[in-house]
Amino acid sequence: MKILIVEDNTELLQNMVTYLEREGYRCERAASYDEGFDKVMSYTYDAVLIDIMLPGGNGLQLLRELKSVRPETGTIIISAKNSLDDKVEGLDLGADDYLTKPFQLPELQARIKAVNRRNNLGGKEIIRINEISLNTQTREVFVNDTLVDLTPKEYDLMLYFVSNKNRVLSKQNIAEHLWGDYVDQLDNLDFVYQHIKNLRKKLVKNGAEDYIESIYSIGYKLNDRLSRA
Amino acid sequence: MKLITRFIIIYLTITVIVLGIGGVISYELIKTEVDKELQFEFMERIDRVAYLIERGRDFHRSRRGREIEGDQNLIIERLDYEVEPRIEVKDTLIWHDRLEQNESNVKVSAYRNINGESYYISTYGAMIESDDITEAVVKTFLWILGLQILGAIGIGYFVSGPLFKPFRESLKKIKRFKLQEKQYIPAEETGVVEFNEMNAFVEEMTRKAVSDYENLKEFAENASHEIQTPLAIARGKLELLSETELNEEQYSYVDSLERTVKKLSRLSESLALLTKIDNHEFDNGKTVNISEFIEESISQFSEFLALRNLSLETSVEENVEVYIHPVLADILWTNLFQNAIKHNIDGGTIKIKLTREKLSISNTGRKPTVDPDKLFERFQKADQSSDSIGLGLSIIKRIVEQNDYTIAYSYSDGWHTIEILLNGVKGNQLQN
């Protein structure tokens, strides 16, 4: 998958590129409005990430230009401003998602995958992890064709793991993904542990391997290359 | 005390003192002048008597010639010895029969040698009694004082009325001045130098205050936005770091750093939000059905309630509508609800009550350690060690103020209650 990242802050750009390239994405960079404009006009991308505040212009304008020539491109706006107006305008212009800095890289990756799924796969995708499969349209999880009865939160958690497989996700990170702004409440992140415990139990009960590894009881990782005897 | 009252008091005090001194001086001057006239009169009379004696008129028939020349007080005595001719003028006290008191009189005595004989001629009297002088002076001065008082009151009315009008106008404007409205007070021409100076100063000062305030707000907003990018970088680096081979200790440091970064970011977001509210960015409200709003949020919070084993009692009147910016309504309610969960005890209870007049949320919890009046101030935390950033309640308060609601907090018998009076009904006993 080919992604263009338009972001003037090189460090932040580097973070995103490093993280996404590990996933196997091909990332191109643009550090200014003009550079970004040049690239979106010349090439096609599966997804374009656009920062709103850019040297030489506004990211929303770039989005407008992009949508006028290639409306099918998946777009995510990245902004330092948690501004409702920007968000509404961005989404009105056809952006697929809106992320506020400081976002989490696993969250970014999950959003890119969701955008890609929606735009390129018509929202339909069956994601497979060995014997487990996720139907993203019906939001169902199967283990060897047996439907696993998951709560919506557990499904979200599973999808998040799958979107970031073989990566470490901290409890904090998971909590933010699942509850967003309400995460303030989670003074103790045992709540995350509860959800993960339930998810694992349900998967194992239906005959799946336990792919979710606990990392020093601080974070978790869905490891599909599990080599258990 | 009003300036004008004080002015009148000072003015009248001075007037009384001045009139008092003036009265004494007037009395003395009048008395001196009258006495002088009397002396001349008496001397002339003595000269006339002396002249008559010289001409051979005999006053001896009556040794004390009281009837002479119509002057009852005239005394003429022939002396048996030689005298040096001289005149003596004295003030003397004479018993006044009618007034039954001693009266100060002028007495002129002359020693004369007439036709080889020595005479003592003397007379005394008072043209005006000193009491009469005093009375006249006091009366005059009381009249003056009375007129002065009337004048002072008249001036007082004038001064506090039309003359001080520009001052009062300026004062009214200064009182109405609100920094948040970002409107400076323009100086108006008054025709009075002092007032003009004051108004010019007020204009300059308010202009400066407004521009400083704007700069500060802009700075606060920019700063909180600018800080998000570095935080995003830090966060990303930590996430990349957590994917390298870390041992447990290293990983726990990374995790703790991640949380700190998140907290920092929340803090600056909250400050930006407060700034935005102060900057009236949420002034365009619309009608929000808070009954529905609350019902919806309860399902969102249900997980958190379950986690802490909290029970919920609600009494929500249907279709309560208020006029508020939806974003603010969301933030307000979320903060209130979160607060009730956060400061609750495990297995506790939350009570939500909504009527058309009032929204109240109560929760069980430990006794507050912070002075309840300070609870709504920024960075006041019920528990200093807690992970919260201490801005929740001040955000609630700003939203409440912005919408002319009234908020009050109370604690009794293990229940914390926050009450918000809706529809701008300015509570009195609940006024915080």
Give the pLDDT band of residue B70 (cuts 50, 70, 90).
Answer: low
Token pair for residue B2? 């009003």
At B32-54, the pLDDT tens digits run 888 888 888 888 888 888 888 88
Give the pLDDT band of residue B388 (cuts 50, 70, 90).
Answer: low
Alpha-carbon distance of A26 to B368, in angstroms, equals 55
Contact status of A61 with chain B (Cβ, < 8 Å): no
More confident residue, B134 or B225: B134
For residue A52, give how far its alpha carbon lies from the nearest alpha carbon of chain B (Å). 12
More confident residue, A169 or B77: A169
Does the structure show a pLDDT above 80 at B211? yes
Q: Do the beta carbons of residue B391 and residue B274 sit within 8 Å? A: yes
More confident residue, B54 or B426: B54
Positions in chain A short of pLDDT 70: 82, 181-188, 226-229
- Taking CA–CA distances from A192, the nearest residue in chain B reads B307
Give the pLDDT score at B432.
Answer: 35
Contact status of A223 with chain B (Cβ, < 8 Å): no
Alpha-carbon distance of B321 to B289, in angstroms, equals 4
Helix, strand, coil shares of chain A, percent, nearest 5, are: 45, 25, 30
Q: Do A106 and B239 touch (CB under 8 A)?
A: yes
Around Cβ A27, how many Cβ atoms within 10 Å? 20
Token pair for residue B17? 């003192």
For residue B224, give how far its alpha carbon lies from the nearest alpha carbon of chain A (Å). 9
At A152-207, the pLDDT tens digits run 889 999 999 999 988 889 888 898 888 876 666 555 577 888 889 999 999 999 99
- Walk across the sheet containing A126-129 and list its strands: A126-129, A132-135, A140-143, A146-148
The H or E element spanning position A145 is none
Give the pLDDT band of residue B426 (cuts 50, 70, 90).
Answer: very low
Q: Do B235 and A219 touch (CB under 8 A)?
A: no
- Taking CA–CA distances from A168, the nearest residue in chain B reads B243
Residues in chain A within 8 Å Cβ distance of B327? 84
What average pLDDT score do residues B179-183 get?
A: 79
| Residue spans in chain A of domains classed CATH 1.10.10.10 | 126-222
| Residue spans in chain A of domains classed CATH 3.40.50.2300 | 2-120
- What's the CATH fold of domain A126-222? Arc Repressor Mutant, subunit A (1.10.10)
Give me the amino acid identity at B429: Q
Q: Do the beta carbons of residue B239 and residue A105 sit within 8 Å? A: yes
- What's the CATH fold of domain A2-120? Rossmann fold (3.40.50)
Residue A101: C-alpha distances to residues A28, A78, A80, B274 (Å): 20, 7, 5, 18
- Taking CA–CA distances from B245, the nearest residue in chain A reads A168
Q: Look up the pTM and report it.
A: 0.65
Contact status of A80 with chain B (Cβ, < 8 Å): yes
